[in-house]
Structure 1
Amino acid sequence: MLQSLKDIFPLKTVLSILAGTAILAFGMVNIHKRVHITEGGVLGMILLLNYWFAIPAALLSPLLDALCYLFGFRYLGKDFLIRSIAATLCLAGFLKLWESLPYLFPDLTEHPLAAAVAGAFFVGIGVGLVVRQKASSGGDDALAMVISKLTRCKIARAYLATDITVLLLSLTYIPLGRIAYSFVTVTISSLLIDFIQDFSLETWKQRVRKHIRLARCSQE
């Protein structure tokens, strides 16, 4: 049993999940929650169904997350589910930590565009670090990863598809001006998640060496 857990959670995976959930929670508390940036994905769907059908959010949240995790278990395997449960617990812990502290990021309430961009970086980097380890910190990530696997599309497109669909439906009860900033957030964060998931240090080293060689050749 212990050896099995070590295989599922090598040190690199543990550190990446801890760093990712800490960064994600920081952005959620210090930017999203503070500036009231609307969400896409599962959270946005919870708000949408609550508005349309008056179903309590407390009931919808675990129900939709559980459904997404079941899809993840079905198509991504047991190890994915175990790592995702750990990541979800880490996220909950870091959310509680950041909420117990004073705000640690400048107040961007009067600058919603800057808040949308900054929030996107925290979400993109945080989620990207978790997804890179084949785990998810919430139902949104699990759903996007399943869609990406089944359709063989890049994960950025899967995130954008789910987020933008929910945001467009949210126009039934949220003003366009408020939704527009969320489009900025989900677009940037999706691209960042994709970049971090595919990032390879060795590939970048090879590119740097190639540019150095080309520069030397041009000088000669």
Structure 2
Amino acid sequence: MPEKRLTKLTHKLTDGLSLKRVVFILIGAMICTFGIHNIHQQSGITEGGVIGMMLLTENWLGLSPALITPILDISCYLLAFKYLGGRFIKISVVSTLSVSLFYKIWELFPPMLPDLSDFPLAAAVGGGIFVGIGVGIIVRQGGSSGGDDALALTISHVTHWRLSRAYLFTDLTVLGLSLTYIPLKKIIFSVITVTISSYLIDHVQNFVFDKKRSSTCKKENMVS
């Protein structure tokens, strides 16, 4: 009996987490964290979403990021659990841990890309591409890389907006509030990077679906 219960528990915990899915999550985490660590953090590009909200709260209220970040992430995941279900949370646990793992790995090495601080437009575009593709891969596997992804996916689910629109809504709201302590010039480059990443996340997430739909349409046309 204990063995059967353990087997059932193991199956329940790993349901939906195939090896292929986990591998793609790791690839997505590796790509997005590489861009953030080697481009955004070097050039000082401000983020939207939970990261931007954390910086905003720190500036307004003086609260430590170590305190406010888990509160914001947990709040977003609780909301996602209500609307997206337990399977989403289970996959997101794996993807969030993967993102943390690769952050730690990249921190062990010196910057691998040139410092683009003097070229903020290039930094905004390059960082947006890395984040968009990496997070897009993770989202396509049914998870999220953090609380901001969970929030955007929940908004998209509830409002039936395209995912890119949901991301832009949250990011631009936070960046707009960030004007209270960040110069407009810096915010403009942040808007560029979140616009690019939002578009790519949406595009990468829907790429496989569109391919399948195209294949289905071709088969239907051949039958008719």
Q: Normalising to structure 1: TM-score of the pair?
A: 0.90
> Which of the numbers 196, 199, 205 marks the counterpart of 2:207?
199
Name the SS of the counterpart of 2:142 in structure 1: coil
Alignment of structure 1 residues 34-183 onto 2, 5 Å: 34-183=42-191
For 2:64 and 2:42, how far apart are their aligned partners in 1? 23
User: Can you list the C-alpha shifts for 1:40-75, whole angstroms capped at 9, x where unaligned?
Assistant: 111111111111122222211000000001111111
Q: What letter matches 2:173 in structure 1?
A: T
Name the SS of the counterpart of 2:118 in structure 1: coil
For 2:91 and 2:114, how far apart are their aligned partners in 1? 33
Q: Which runs of 5+ in 1 are unaligned?
A: 211-220
Moved over 4 A (4+): 204-207
For 1:98 and 1:144, how far apart are their aligned partners in 2? 26
Q: What letter matches 1:24 in structure 2?
A: C
Alignment correspondent of 2:6:
none
Q: What letter matches 1:150 in structure 2?
A: V
The Cα of 1:205 is off from its aligned counterpart by: 10
For 1:71 and 1:177, how far apart are their aligned partners in 2? 33
2:12 paired with 1:4 = yes
Q: What letter matches 2:53 in structure 1?
A: M
User: Can you list the C-alpha shifts for 1:56-114, whole angstroms capped at 9, x where unaligned?
Assistant: 22211000000001111111111111111111111111001011012112221211100
The Cα of 1:129 is off from its aligned counterpart by: 0.5
For 1:65 and 1:196, how far apart are their aligned partners in 2? 23
Q: What letter matches 1:100 in structure 2?
A: L
Identity %: 52
Provide the aligned length of Structure 1 versus Structure 2: 208
> Which of the numbers 1, 21, 25 marks the counterpart of 2:29?
21
Q: What letter matches 1:181 in structure 2?
A: F
The Cα of 1:200 is off from its aligned counterpart by: 2.3
For 1:201 and 1:50, how far apart are their aligned partners in 2? 40
The Cα of 1:3 is off from its aligned counterpart by: 2.8
Name the SS of the counterpart of 2:116 in structure 1: coil
